Amino acid sequence: MKARSALIQGVLAGAGLVAAYVTWQRPKDTKSDEQVVVLDAKKTALEEIRYEDGTRFITLRREVKDEPVVWVTQGYLEGKGPPPVVDPHAGVTGPDGGGHADAGLVAMRFDAGMPEGVELPQGVTVVTPPPRQLVGNERAEKLYEKFSPLMAARGLGVLSPEKTKEVGLDLTEKKMTLMVSGAPRIYRVSTGGVGLLGNYLQDGQDNQVYLLPSGLMNELDPSSGQLIDRRFHAFRPAEFDSFKVTFEGVSKEFVQTGAEVSQTTKVAPKEAPDKPDEFVRNWHDKILTRMVPTDVLGKGETPKSGEPTLMLRLDYFSHGKPKGFLEMAKGAGSQVEIFARSEHTAGWVALHMGSENFAEEARKVVGK
């Protein structure tokens, strides 16, 4: 009985220690006025958020012109680019000094990383891809607002070396820099670990450590596309009343009515507004709703195949004033690639297979 009692007491004591540890790690479920201020930055003072995970980086910068826009820039840190992808026909030199390797094997090996003892073909260099500057979506806007001010679930003060290691701040390569009124505030960000909930920040100025709410830093994933706006237009269909279609140098104008509800939308030639054209309405609906981006290129970025050739352009108007535009173009490569860009995108956007049919149908729209 004594042994059994001792065992029970030991289990209870161990459970108590685990509960105490989890309670210390877990963010307090408290009201916002009990949270801790990490950085009391006003919206007008916060200029940029930058996060580095050791390989990639992401920055968020808010720009206010006609309307607020959060620009999202993603890229690799210098010297941390992706594994080189080499033309298999160029051949590689293996550890045994052999000649050309199997094409599929070469591709797989390089996609998985640079194997030891493998040399790149002569003239082939490893180049870090340039960063992509993209338009952020509503989620990016909301995330940006969470940093002005930046609040923590709790403050832990200055930790001992042992505790610093325990929360994953001793050897971390992760770093966050907040640019406030022209001055950088740098924070070390904890690595993940078993039993750690949320992320820990260590202020580079005073070494104070804070526990952030779970998920906040996950939203700043440099490799994620969840913050990218994939829309071609920020305006709704009801916000324009006419548009012009230009295909291979031939243009035709149309008027739109009843666009508050999609079922009542009517599109008619400008010269005959009382004669709705169902074919043009259906075609234009596909242009607005069925084009699926497969890759969003950054500001100033050219497709790998080269500058595409313009096929189609649409110009939108509201009460005679320009509202926006959309261009579709064919890629310069041997394979069929279709790209599009608009007043809302940062640059070209690659489209899904079959989207070239949308552009070709414009031939009938303009009566060519």
CA gap 104, 102 in Å, rounded: 6
Asked if residue 105 has pLDDT above 80, the reply is no
Instruction: Output the pTM of the full model.
Output: 0.78
> What is the structure's pLDDT at 117?
55
Asked if residue 110 has pLDDT above 90, the reply is no
pLDDT higher at 112 or 130: 130
Q: What is the pLDDT of residues 291-326, one digit of tens each?
A: 999 999 999 999 989 999 999 999 999 999 999 999
> What is the structure's pLDDT at 116?
52
Contacts 24+ apart (CB under 8 A), 218-223: 219/139, 219/143, 220/49, 220/51, 220/58, 220/60, 220/143, 220/176, 221/53, 221/58, 222/51, 222/52, 222/53, 222/55, 222/56, 222/57, 222/58, 222/74, 222/75, 223/56, 223/74
Asked if residue 35 has pLDDT above 90, the reply is no
Q: What is the pLDDT of residues 208-234, one digit of tens each?
A: 999 998 788 989 999 999 999 999 999
Residue 180 in contact with residue 39, Cβ under 8 Å?
yes
